[in-house]
Amino acid sequence: MLTLIARRLLLVVPNIFLLTFLLFASVTSFLGSPAAMMLGEDASPQAIRELNARFGFDRPVLVQYAEWMWRALQGDFGRSFTTQQPVADALLPRVPVTLELALWAIALAVLVATTVNTLPVARRLVGALSSTLSVLGITVPNFMLGILLIYVFSVHLRLLPSTGWVPWSDGVVAHLRHLVMPVATLSAFYIGSFSMVYRAEFRAVMQRLFIRVARAKGISEARVAYGHGLPNAILPVITYVGVSLGQLAGGAVVTETVFSIPGTGRLFVDAIATRDFPVMLAVGILIIIAVMLMNLVADLLYTVVDPQIRLD
């Protein structure tokens, strides 16, 4: 296992540097001169040139990236152009919020997709309904579903708060009430997509010889499904979880914006609106590292779920 982790890290680290460089180059090119943004639209060309030379913005992008990455590795992501606050101080408190939202959404999606589509009654009586809900979960945009949930459960029924975020320290019930709709909104797409992937694999698994042998032994259908079918059919879902984390980051941006959640996604949207590229770069590198590491975790889970699999 340690050899596998070391081998995967040797592939992950170069990819992180490559992707962060592409992010750095694209963001700085898209936004133009940082000095012009810092000084404002009324700044003279001479003042912009002097500030570019003072902070090194006029140097080659590779040199700028190397210096920025060196500082970032030490936890220094620079200062926000808009607030002059250290980017790390603005970013770090928001990471647990987005992380919790993402973990709840993925856990809910995997649980619902596997449980519902494994139940014998679901396969026989509710298969068409499950397929319909899967398609709706994939096709309905996050922002539309979020607004619909707010209208139904906040405006009409007055059961849940429409926006905001309450930490655990302010009460478990209050925290969970603010968590229900954002998690449902973010997980809807993954419930649909995971269900489609899992249902197709589960049907194929249930036709295999060892399933017929288990049934011939008189084992109950539920035990056959959950004890033999589910462990063998869940592997594609694990793969899909790993490759869909980039989409999850995008969904988190929309969900946090709709529900006014103070996470990294909301911070990223605010940074784009104010053209605050130090914040944009910090959030971008965080997303890249998280996606790479979670793909590594998905690879390692293969050996946990099915010990017969050995990854090279």
pLDDT at 182: 93
Closest CA to 178 of 100, 106, 269: 100
Partners of 79 in the beta sheet?
A: 86
Distances from the Cα of 112 to the Cα of 122, 135, 150, 210, angstroms: 12, 15, 22, 25
What are the φ/ψ torsions at residue 218 (nearest 5 degrees)?
90, 10
Q: Residues 197, 261: one domain?
A: yes
Query: Which of helix, strand or coil describes residue 33?
Result: coil
| Domain count within the chain | 2
Query: Would you say residue 64 lies in a domain?
Result: yes
Q: How many CB atoms lie within 10 A of CB 240?
A: 19
- 121 plus 185 within the same structural domain: yes
Please report how the helices 277-305 and 2-31 are oriented relative to each other, as an axis angle in degrees rounded to 10: 160
Q: Are residues 118 and 235 in the same domain?
A: yes
Same domain, 51 and 79: yes
Residue 176 falls inside a structural domain: yes
Degrees, nearest 5: CA angle 213-217-219: 100
**Do 35 and 150 share a structural domain?**
no
Q: What DSSP assignment string belongs to 42-111? A: T--HHHHHHHHHHHTTTS-HHHHHHHHHHHHHTT---B-TTT--BHHHHHGGGHHHHHHHHHHHHHHHHH
> Are 46 and 136 contained in the same domain?
no
Its domain, for residue 223, covers 94-266+288-305
Same domain for 14 and 148, yes or no, is no
Residue-level pLDDT, tens digit, the chain, 312 residues: 567 667 777 777 788 888 888 888 877 665 566 666 666 666 677 777 777 777 667 777 888 888 888 888 888 888 887 788 888 888 888 989 988 998 899 899 888 888 888 876 555 555 566 667 677 777 788 888 889 999 999 998 888 998 888 888 888 999 999 999 999 999 888 888 888 888 888 888 888 888 888 888 888 888 888 888 888 888 788 777 777 776 777 788 888 889 989 988 888 888 887 777 788 888 888 888 877 777 777 777 766 666 555 545
Beta bridge partners of 86: 79
Query: Contact, 186 vs 251, CB < 8 A?
Result: yes
Q: In angstroms, rounded to a whole number, what is the distance separating the alpha carbons of residues 307 and 301?
A: 10
Are 232 and 150 within one domain?
A: yes
29 inside domain: yes
In this structure, the answer to whether residues 41 and 124 fall within a common structural domain is no
Residue 99 and residue 176 share a domain: yes
